[in-house]
Structure 1
């Protein structure tokens, strides 16, 4: 049975991906508390208390042992130790060997390729270590920066779902991107 038990930190050229800790609460709040950052993601701006609650709860996961679980990792710059964002790998289906990635970054660090670099490392964990066959990314169509990250990763846009869900009080279009393990370089 596949299981993902990464050795932390997961290193890329410029970044270290690792579980978030209580010491990260203020850095997480710096972007997860911003309305603009939360506009296209499935959560409202967070408070310090809600971040601490998640760090001690669902974000405390350090491994994926079964479908339905998610692994959230903080992304820090290796040169400065600054937390610049976070990424998540969700294991959706054991039977279909499928998962999903997501990413949220501090806009202070936008345009430097950190989201793409971190998400590529996450794809590596999902495909190489967990043995997933297929990984998707679901993006609100209005979030063009996020869609561009998926495309830079080499994911293909597979669907555009028109007004497929009521999202934060308005109908939204969803772009779905996908990649197979055989396509991951």
Structure 2
């Protein structure tokens, strides 16, 4: 079970549950076709963003497998929510999870997604006690798979045309990290600091 003590902070960011006050910030990136291009939904209109936000505000803890924890990534320097990170509890028995991220294009390339994703990996491994966390993305989405690699995840699979995605067969990369690898990575980061 995971009930984080909010807000969570990193060097530059505040991660917290979404609130209905985040509508404008969420709409700013959920409405962009380039953001939705590699996601399972299309660019959203205001009503669709409102419906998505209504669900996100409830996804604040993990009490059983199959649930999602979805957190708003607030960047105080910008004074707004610039993206979101998530953690799905895939299996209690096998201690498996999946993480992901979505960021406004104006705030990409600044290391913010990596910083936020590292907080989610810490929650997954250190607080929830997961053994393994995966990340999945479309191979055409190079910024996403490069981020997964910068996080220390290894590419374990390239599924070729494994699903119909937005009307055509698409490929998928699967990355993974073990809890022991996370621990080793943290130890090595601490020793070089």
Which shifted more, 147-156 or 58-67? 58-67
Which ranges of structure 1 fall in alignment gaps of 5 or more residues? none
Secondary structure of the residue that 1:178 maps to in structure 2? Answer: strand
Contact residue 8 and residue 18 of structure 1 kept, 8 A: yes
Which residue number in structure 2 is paired with residue 15 of structure 1? Answer: 13
Distance (Å, rounded) in 1 between the aligned partners of 2:90 and 2:136: 13
Which residue number in structure 2 is paired with residue 35 of structure 1? Answer: 33
Distance (Å, rounded) in 2 between the aligned partners of 1:83 and 1:179: 27
| TM norm structure 1 | 0.95
Which residue number in structure 1 is paired with residue 46 of structure 2? Answer: 48
Distance (Å, rounded) in 2 between the aligned partners of 1:148 and 1:58: 26
Which ranges of structure 2 fall in alignment gaps of 5 or more residues? 187-193
**CA shift at 1:48, angstroms?**
2.0
Which shifted more, 46-55 or 66-75? 46-55
Distance (Å, rounded) in 1 between the aligned partners of 2:105 and 2:59: 26
Distance (Å, rounded) in 1 between the aligned partners of 2:54 and 2:87: 18
Number of corresponding residues: 183
Distance (Å, rounded) in 2 between the aligned partners of 1:42 and 1:59: 20
2:124 to 86, 102, 126: 126
Which shifted more, 129-138 or 40-49? 40-49
The aligned runs of 1:20-169 (5 Å cut-off) are 20-169=18-167
| TM norm structure 2 | 0.92
Distance (Å, rounded) in 1 between the aligned partners of 2:46 and 2:58: 16
Q: In the TM superposition, what whole-angstrom CA distance separates every residue of 1:78-120 from its partner, at most 9, and x where no partner exists?
A: 3343211011100010111100001000001111011111001
Which shifted more, 151-160 or 46-55? 46-55
Contact residue 20 and residue 57 of structure 2 kept, 8 A: no
Secondary structure of the residue that 1:57 maps to in structure 2? Answer: helix
Distance (Å, rounded) in 1 between the aligned partners of 2:69 and 2:44: 19
Which residue number in structure 1 is paired with residue 189 of structure 2? Answer: none
